[in-house]
Amino acid sequence: MKIYKITEASKYLGISINSLKTLANNGKLNSFKTSGEHRRFREDDLDAYMGVKKEKQERLTVIYARCSTAKQKENLERQKDRLRKHAEEKGYKYLMIDEIASGINEKRKGIHKLIKMCFEGKVERILIEYKDRLARFGYEYLDAIFRNLEIIVEIVEIKEKKYEEELAEDIMKILTCYSARYYGARGGRKKKIEPINEPNESNGI
């Protein structure tokens, strides 16, 4: 199910933004607001207002599996097997997204692909082993997005002993990153050169 911003929704319906706001405010057109108070419209609601009936796109369960480093690849494979087995036992129609990347990495291709699919209306459920697979920090923001899109996040909560080791590695990466920034900033500062006050010479007069 595609989600439209207010400008996109007005173009979709062929009406002005003010007219669209009036319809939404009067309850004649369903909409919702994000956590940042931005109004959004679901494609189904826009089609229903226009009297257009479309076949609903089948939504999938997306299994998301992740480990932090290449040396944990065996752990990643076991993680995928467990989640795959869980999905099959539940009878979910699913696809798999897996990647090797730190949980504090904001440029993960896998997580960006997942979010894109969510906004395209292709996802019904996200299946993970535990919250930190999606994000080491800021999971609540992602969860709020998924809830607004009416997507279920199902957490199996299976942890291996190596979880603590991976957490320690991520913490060390944070410390290394901020230490480099801090000392780099200090090293880049130019010391202010104070003028040297020469003693006044006197000729005795």
From 68, 102, 179, 202, the catalytic residue: 68
The Cα–Cα gap between 86 and 80 comes to 10
Per residue in 90-123, pLDDT tens?
Answer: 999 999 999 999 888 888 999 999 999 998 889 9
Q: State pTM to two decimals.
A: 0.57
Per residue in 16-50, pLDDT tens?
Answer: 999 999 999 999 999 998 878 889 999 889 988 98
Mean pLDDT of 135-143: 86
Q: What is the pLDDT of residue 125?
A: 95
Per residue in 59-89, pLDDT tens?
Answer: 899 999 999 888 889 999 999 999 999 999 9
Note whether residue 165 is domain-resident. no
- Whether 35 is catalytic is no
pLDDT at 192 over 60: no
Domain that holds residue 81: 60-155
**What CATH code is carried by the domain that includes residue 18?**
1.10.1660.10
Q: What percent of the chain has pLDDT over 90?
A: 45
One domain for residues 15 and 34:
yes
Looking up tokens 């290394």 gives 176
> How far are the Cα atoms of 20, 38, 129 from residue 7, in angstroms, in the given order?
9, 11, 38
* Degrees, nearest 5: CA angle 87-125-131: 85
Mean pLDDT of 181-189: 61
Note whether residue 184 is domain-resident. no
One domain for residues 25 and 100:
no
**What CATH code is carried by the domain that includes residue 89?**
3.40.50.1390
Count: domains in the chain: 2
8 Å CB contact between 141 and 106:
no
Note whether residue 201 is domain-resident. no
One domain for residues 79 and 146:
yes
Q: What is the pLDDT of residue 166?
A: 57
One domain for residues 12 and 34:
yes
pLDDT at 200 over 80: no
The Cα–Cα gap between 2 and 111 comes to 18
Q: What is the mean pLDDT of the chain?
A: 82
Q: What is the DSSP letter of 191?
A: P
